[in-house]
Amino acid sequence: MGGCDCCSPSSAGCIILLQRSASLVIHILLGTNDFLLRKRLNELKSQLGDEESLSMNTVTLESRQLRLSELTNACDTVPFMAAHRLVIVEGLLGRVEAGERKRQGEESEWTGLVDYAARMPASTTMVLVEREVSKTNRLVRKLAPFSQVEEFLPLKGGNLQQWIHSRLAEQGAKMSPGAMRLLTEYVGDDLYMLAAEIEKLCLYAEGKRIEEDDVQSLTTQARQANIFAMIDAFAEKRASIAMRLLHRLLNEGTAPTHILAMLTRQLRLMVQAKELDSRHTPEAELRKQLGLSQYYPVRRLLQQSALYPLPRLQAIYRKLLDTDMAIKTGRWKEQMALDMLIAEVCA
């Protein structure tokens, strides 16, 4: 089984599930680690030619209403003044799987993609991108002989530390273990945010080892980073980290009502995102309907909402409102109420 650039230490979290030995016509990129997945997609693009010529020969298709004939027509088109053509489709595998479940496993028109893959022009590279599909996805299995299937997993524990070390090494910098722990507490495992914060810290340190004080003073408005890290830990059921960050926020003077308001907003977004995602709403439209900026990590929101069935999210939302009322009426002390809330939700 061959390797790829995305499986280097700096990109731990990529697993090559299946790889064809001959020249590939299809790349299937799966997983919720959007940072590494997009990095791999950019690597594939760089292998197909210079950016200018490839941009004229790249087409990205929306899967929601896509028909097989439209996809094959895009793939059969001859490259314009270049050797390669790139066709990218996002969300197709999940859409086909959901359709088969509704028809109780009945074959869809997309089984024809397997026959087409055997005769697809060698000048065309197809990339199927999917955030999450089942391990038994039939289309993935049938396309396997013509594909390289790669899965991009969230980085946790040692893998996340390894990624941070490699990111620091690229910039000739070092960080103390305490500073690394503090950085991941503030930012979590969002690689986009981590990459931005590491770059700022490296510039600030000017060749010296990055220490906890550097992270505390420089990481994007430390208190704001704390509250978003706490919200993520709360939503992802990481109770000990959520509790530790909650107490730090309270000690720094953050109003309990503000913390509760931010948690309530996150739960509301999770409920809405889950409902929209169940209708296979494209990410751009989902972002628009939720009123989120382009910098908001929508994919992380979807990952968090996927951890809970909808009735559970609705129950937690009601619990947040009850906690707010208990604090305002003096029935519970503020810290005790928030501690109980985190313990119950993260249990």
Residue-range domain boundaries for the chain: 5-152, 154-220, 248-347
Residue of 235, 241, 263 lying closest to 186 (CA atoms): 241
pTM for the full predicted model: 0.63
Contact predicate 315/267, CB 8 Å: no
Q: For position 17, what pLDDT does the model report?
A: 62
Name residue 62's beta-bridge partners: 90
User: For residue range 178-208, what is the model confidence (pLDDT) as tens digits?
Assistant: 999 888 877 778 888 788 889 989 988 888 9
Q: Are strands 58-62 and 26-30 parallel, antiparallel or unpaired?
A: unpaired
Strand order in the sheet with 14-19: 14-19, 147-152, 26-30, 124-130, 85-90, 58-62
Q: For position 10, what pLDDT does the model report?
A: 45
CB proximity list for 258: less than 8 A, separation 6 or greater: 227
For the domain with range 248-347, which CATH number is right: 3.30.390.50, 1.20.272.10, 3.40.630.30, 1.10.3720.10?
1.20.272.10
pLDDT band with cut points at 50, 70 and 90 for residue 65: confident
Q: For position 281, what pLDDT does the model report?
A: 84
On average, the pLDDT of the chain sits at 84
Q: For position 239, what pLDDT does the model report?
A: 87
Q: In which residue are the tokens 């830990």 written?
A: 233
CATH class, range 154-220: mainly alpha
Q: In which residue are the tokens 């305002």 written?
A: 328
∠110-145-53 over CA atoms, to 5°?
75
In three-state secondary structure terms, 299 is helix
**180 versus 12: which is more confidently predicted?**
180
| CATH H superfamily, domain 5-152 | P-loop containing nucleotide triphosphate hydrolases (3.40.50.300)
The answer to whether residue 104 scores a pLDDT higher than 70 is no
Least confident of 13-17, 38-42, 279-283: 13-17
In three-state secondary structure terms, 5 is helix
What token pair was written down for 81? Answer: 């003044």
